[in-house]
Amino acid sequence: MRTRRAAVVGLGGISKEWLPPLLAREDVDLVALVDPDRARAEEQRVAFGLSCPVHMDTAAALEVERVDLVINLTPPGFHREVSEAALAAGCDVIVEKPLTDELSDAVAIVEAARAAGRTVAVMQNRRYHPAVRRMRAGLAAGEIGDQVDTSVDMFLWHIYSNPYLLNAASPLLRDMAIHQFDMARAITGANAMTVQTLEWSSPTSFMPGATAAAATFELSNGAVFSYRGSWVAEGAQTSYDGAWRVGGTRGSFSWDSEARLVVETVERVNGPHAVGVRTAVEEDVPRLDRVGHPSGLNAILDALAAGETPETVCDDNLLSLAMVDAAVKSSQERRTIEIADVLADAGWRG
């Protein structure tokens, strides 16, 4: 089994979610921590009992420590710079979501990875939730017939603040919605073609930007995906994963965003338009840890170890990120947006 020599670049708060599953891997040797704030990196090094050195310069760390895997946990605005430096040094890269904060930069990363013959994969941890995998497998197996529509509601009071959220015009869509958008692609196996979006907020929000949104996507398989999200919901809250319903021609999956998933099927023995016999089965869904980073990280590393393409490779994740850009553009311009046009404007040629 090949052991990867890894460097973690960016030791902010999110690194606390990455370091435990990274250190649990027998095929990963953490050889460097990199952050321009040495004190912050040293704090994490001590907190996790690490013996690897701390560097303040990414390029120097990659060369001196002979790194072949970079864990890019820098703020989104630095994702392209760090990822391209890692690719130029012959490294594979795993990056915290979103791939970048600018779609054109994401396109540049994809092109750089292809040119280098290396892999850049994105931490889209929520697509690995057992409920998402269950609905995905059931839909693919035809349990509820052909897909008709998929919807998700994510309503909660979001209290975590940072400068990025305070400065963003569309903080909910820019920071959180990519999780549900990517989950929808994972469940349905389809890509978004068009979107219509409306954003709003509440007087109770501490963020000046839009903290609620509704978006409707036309999917490549002819079905529809509907998203409703809010960070200013008082009462009747969901988890950050959202409450889901996947509707088909012969039934549905519904997940309450916690531990309850219901599979309901309909049999119409007297014809397609006759009253049907409904059967509902409730299934228990295993819980993940708070954000599910171990599942996402292990899936990516297992794929790399097997010489396979990770599910969340940047080429694919670009299509989830494009949904975000298109949703924001639709809200701003108050019209239906073609996803292909957004990708083309960012320089994507496929």
Domain assignment present for residue 317? The answer is no
- The predicted pLDDT at position 288 comes to 67
Per-residue pLDDT tens for 139-190? 999 999 999 999 999 999 887 667 777 778 899 999 899 999 999 999 999 9
- Give the pLDDT confidence of 213-241 residue by residue, as tens digits: 999 999 999 999 999 999 999 988 898 89
CATH of the domain at 51: 3.40.50.720
Q: What letter represents residue 197's amino acid?
A: T
Would you say residue 348 lies in a domain?
no
3-state SS, the chain, equals CCCEEEEEECCCCCHHHHHHHHHCCCCEEEEEEECCCHHHHHHHHHHCCCCCCEECCHHHHHHHCCCCEEEECCCHHHHHHHHHHHHHCCCEEEEECCCCCCHHHHHHHHHHHHHHCCCEEEECHHHHCHHHHHHHHHHHCCCCCCEEEEEEEEECECCCCCHHHHHCCCHHHHHHHHHHHHHHHHHHCCCEEEEEEEEECCCCCCCCCCCEEEEEEEECCCCEEEEEEECECCCCCCCCCCEEEEEECCEEEEECCCCEEEEEEEECCCCCCCCCEEEEEEEECCCCCCCCHHHHHHHHHHHHHCCCCCCCEHHHHHHHHHHHHHHHHHHHHCCCEEHHHHHHHCCCCC
Indicate whether 65 and 91 sit together in one domain: yes
| Count: domains in the chain | 2
Query: Is 345 a domain residue?
Result: no
User: Is residue 11 located within the same domain as residue 119?
Assistant: yes
Query: Are 229 and 296 members of one domain?
Result: no
Are residues 113 and 16 both part of a single domain?
A: yes
Do 106 and 150 lie in one domain? The reply is no
Along the 350 residues of the chain, how does pLDDT read in single tens digits? 689 999 999 999 899 999 999 999 999 999 999 999 999 999 999 999 999 999 999 999 999 999 999 999 999 999 999 999 999 999 999 999 999 989 999 999 999 999 999 999 999 999 999 999 999 999 999 999 999 999 999 999 887 667 777 778 899 999 899 999 999 999 999 999 999 999 999 998 888 899 999 999 999 999 999 999 999 999 888 988 999 999 999 999 999 988 889 999 988 877 777 777 788 889 988 876 655 889 999 999 999 999 999 999 999 999 999 999 999 999 999 999 999 999 999 999 98
Q: Is residue 131 part of a domain?
A: yes
Both 89 and 206 in one domain: the answer is: no
pLDDT for 289? 60
Q: Are residues 20 and 109 in the same domain?
A: yes
- Domain with 174 in it: what CATH number? 3.30.360.10
The Cα–Cα gap between 130 and 216 comes to 25
Same domain, 13 and 106: yes
Query: Is 163 found in the same domain as 183?
Result: yes
**One domain, residues 106 and 118:** yes
Domain identity same for 64 and 165 = no
Q: Residue 1: its pLDDT value, please? A: 66
Domain co-membership, 207 together with 242: yes
Query: Which residue range(s) make up the domain with 101?
Result: 4-124+292-312
Has residue 52 been placed in a domain?
yes
Q: Are 203 and 175 in contact (CB under 8 A)?
A: no
Position 291 scores a pLDDT of 57
Rounded to two decimals, the pTM is 0.92
CB-CB contact of 146 with 157 (8 Å): no
Cross-strand pairs, 93: 70, 120
